[in-house]
Structure 1
Amino acid sequence: MAVALLALALGAFAIGTTEFVIMGLLPEVGADLGVPLSSAGHLISAYALGVVIGAPLLTALSTRLPRKSALLLFLGLFVVGNLTTVLAPEHATVFAARVVAGLPHGAYLGLATLVAARLVGPAKQATAVSRVLLGLTVANIVGVPGGTYLGQLLGWRAAFLVVAALGGLAALGVAAFVPRVEAAPGSGLRSELSALGRRPVVLGLTTAVFGFAGVFAVYSYVSPMMTELAGLNGGAIPVVLALFGVGMTLGSLLVGPLADRALLPTIYGSLAALAVVLVLFTFAVHTPLTAVLGIIVLGAAGFGVTAPLQVFVMDRAGTAPTLAAASNHSAFNLANAGGAWLGGLGIGAGWGLTSPAWIGAVLAAVGLGLAVLTGSAHHRERRQEDRETAAETPEPARG
């Protein structure tokens, strides 16, 4: 199963690379397309738009497909979107291509984590999910810096050509090594929508939005914080971003086994740790060494939220978890956008460059409160299920 998980993680690596590599290539993209930097930045929003639309839409359309076939379909669409990005001649068509490339993002990651959990069984599903999502964290260490360097050296389109090739390689790996996994009985669209509306699932998704928004309130403004507050040279920023990815990887490796042992306590602990780290970061960011260490710890604490929430949402969706699993990645993308927006509001209000960290701490604390409500709803639902099971079980005959 290790090779199958590796193939699924490679798809996540390609997705993570294409999502973030464009941020380091905006000057090259703008110059090549003949548009200002602000217009080039809209291509980031185009991808996010594709993610938010595509996660529920593609998942809904593929509920009756075998899991492996759906994964290959999503990877195929991903390759087409990135190849179209390479070939698109002007800004409008590149924008459309980025939307297409983002469509399978949440659908693939949701289904890949679901398949990974099914392959290893309930006892190790959090570890399996974290291993697949490890592809996203490694993308921030290797894929994004490497793609940025390649794009600056050979032109920005070269980066997306390599991403398309990685998506094709992941598809070959899935075809060769991931076993056929059928959709569970009763997992049609109606069941998926019903599962998505369950109270613990809704609360879990809302927790993801607020909790992870705390991370991106800071991450979105890490460059000015590091240069203006920590005093680092601008050339050190790619290294800082890579170290954030290292922290994410460490968090992924640590949190999976913990969540397998105690899922809800791991979610509570991760969100509480994130809030504390964000508060401490407001003080640590004023010195180069502590600022860099703070970024690593922030990456670890932030990614500690993702895999446990993914497993929780899948678990509470019951026999129809596909749409819920995909929607969780839409929630994380909403967190990205919302955290960046709220962090920017703090800076714009004149509260200073540390204000995004304070805002992020508040968001993480709200996420923790929602997680506690989620846990309470989960326990009530479990007790109700136990009562219904007990009522349906016939009493043994008395002799």
Structure 2
Amino acid sequence: MSHVETLSIERRRSIDPRIFLLTLGTFALGTDAFVVAGVLPAIAHDVGITEGVAGQLVTAFSLTYGIAAPLTAALTSRWSRNYVLVGSLLLFCLANVLSAIAPSFVMLMFSRILAGIFACTYVPLAYATAGSLAPEGKRGQAIALVVIGITIATALGSPFGTWIGEHFGWRQSFFLVVVLSGLASLGLIMGRLPKAAAAPSVSLRTRLEPMLKPRLVLALVPMFFCNIGVYAVYTYIAPLLHLNLPGVDVSGLLVLFGLGAMFGTIAAGRLVDRFRVNRLLMLFLSVLIVVEVLLALATAGNLMVALLALLIWGFLVSVVFVPQQERLLRLAPQHAQIMLALNNSMYYLGIATGSAVGGLSLRIVDVTQLVWIGGAGVLMALLLLLLSIRIERKTDIVEQ
């Protein structure tokens, strides 16, 4: 075999550099989704609202993402995938320009809704495009690379955006997202993605078909309540840390949460391959309840204990997601794609509801008391999981 042929084969087997641009796009989206929590006090002070009201910016983005995801997928299914992919990322970039220059809270809220719409349009297409660009035998690796963009955003993007917001103003945090998403958009335009035919149209009714089956709905809702519990606390983590550790740079602390999330994502895949997913979910949710309830105490006064608590908390929040996805695939393999899409919607609806519940709770309780509400949300997730497992076992016995 000639040297030229060898180079050609190696090039076909390597990861297409355009996949890294797709990952940059998900990194920008992930940074945008979580950075608001870090700069919440600054936004509230500058706009002249309470931190509880400011937290509804997270609600707006996540609620829009959760509701609009199946709708935008159905509406754009007949359009060119490349146009929708690049167009949604460009519009997401412009939505963040609007967030950065918004003269009022109403305009800022509107910009977060727009960002949620364009984000939920981009992400599934980024996964599909990565798979089509990958060489044979590396599709899973390519898709995982795009997925990890969001995880890295939790570990690095959100803390860095928070640091920028603390030192240069919260509007600059949104401009960071503008730069990241703008670079990814321009790179994808210049990279000339291969033409892709429009996917077969799937009606909204077909996408929501599993929601008509009570057993599958019950399997989906634990993720919803888990995220209510987590984000009732995480959305207001900046004021909690400012109260418990005055003078400490919150952005640095959030890096530990993000690193825990990265470790959790990496560990989850290996654990799912070795242990039963139901047992993993029961174990992680049980420990998460304890960690959430003790979080206010663990972050009070002692910096090292706070760092450890945030690392463990981030790990537990992240490690639950993969076993939940695997469980849904086993419960309804015939609805695999739709179930995973609905699980993603439940994920973001949980974030939206959690941030809303936390914000409303701050009207009557201190920020340190949010951990009890968070623990109650995760406890509800665990109880619903146990009920779902019990029904699943009874159904299996009847079918046998």
User: TM-score normalized by structure 2?
Assistant: 0.74
Match of 2:354 among 332, 339, 348: 339
**2:256 — aligned with what?**
243
CA distance in 1, matches of 2:118, 2:155: 22
Q: What are the equivalent positions in structure 2 for 1:10-21 lying under 5 Å apart? A: 10-21=24-35
Residue segments in structure 2 that go unaligned for 5+ positions in a row: 1-13
Deviation for aligned residue 1:172: 5.7
After superposition, residues 242-391 of structure 1 pair within 5 angstroms as 242-261=255-274, 262-281=276-295, 284-286=298-300, 288=302, 289-313=304-328, 318=333, 321=336, 324-340=339-355, 342=357, 355-375=369-389
Using the TM superposition, give the Cα deviation of residue 265 of structure 1 relative to its aligned residue in structure 2, in angstroms. Answer: 3.7
Structure 2 CA distance, aligned partners of 1:240 and 1:266?
27
Aligned length: 380
Look up the match of 1:396.
none
Q: Is residue 2:201 matched to residue 1:190? A: no
- What residue in structure 2 maps to residue 391 of structure 1? none
Change beyond 3 A, Cα 1:105–1:320: farther
> Alpha carbons of 1:338 and 1:312: their partners in 2 closer, same or farther (altered >3 Å)?
same
Deviation at 1:279, TM superposition (A): 4.5
- The correspondence for 2:173, drawn from 147, 156, 159, is 159
Q: What's the secondary structure of 2:68's corresponding residue?
A: helix
CA change 1:56–1:201 in 2 (3 A) is: same
* CA drift at 1:234: 3.1
TM-fit CA distance, 1:253: 1.4
Task: Summarize the Cα distance change of 1:164–1:238 in structure 2 as closer, same or farther, 3 Å threshold.
Answer: closer
Contact residue 61 and residue 352 of structure 2 kept, 8 A: no
Question: In the aligned structure 2, how far is the partner of 1:148 from the partner of 1:177?
Answer: 34
In structure 2, the partner of 1:397 is none
In structure 2, do the counterparts of structure 1 residues 68 and 367 end up closer, same or farther at CA, with 3 Å as the change threshold?
Answer: farther
Asked if the contact 2:92–2:181 (Cα under 8 Å) also holds between the matched residues in 1, the reply is yes
Unaligned segments of structure 1, at least 5 residues: 388-399
Give the C-alpha shift of residue 302 in structure 1.
0.8
CA deviations over 1:344-380 (Å, ceiling 9, x no partner): 6777666x76543343333223212322344455567
Relative to structure 1, is the Cα distance of residues 203 and 293 closer, same or farther in structure 2, using a 3 angstrom cutoff?
same
Displacement after TM superposition at 1:174 (Å):
6.2
**Partners of 1:145 and 1:85 in 2: how far apart?**
18
CA distance in 1 between counterparts of 2:279 and 2:185 reads: 36
Equivalent residue letter for 2:255: A
SS in 2 for 1:234: coil
In the alignment, what sits opposite 2:224? Answer: 209
Give the superposition deviation at 1:81: 1.7
Aligned-pair identity (%): 33
Question: Aligned equivalents of 2:129 and 2:388: distance in 1?
Answer: 24
The SS at the match of 1:101 is: helix
Deviations 1:200-228 (A, max 9, x none): 54223311111222222332343454454
User: For the residues of structure 1 that align with 2:383 and 2:197, how far apart are their CA atoms?
Assistant: 37
- For 1:83 and 1:215, locate their aligned partners in 2 and report how far apart those are by CA, in whole Å: 29
Distance change >3 Å, CA 2–CA 93, structure 1 → 2:
same
Q: Distance in 1 between matches of 2:360 and 2:106?
A: 29
Find 2:247's aligned residue among 234, 240, 253.
234
Residue identity in the other structure for 1:138? I
- Aligned position for 1:103: 117
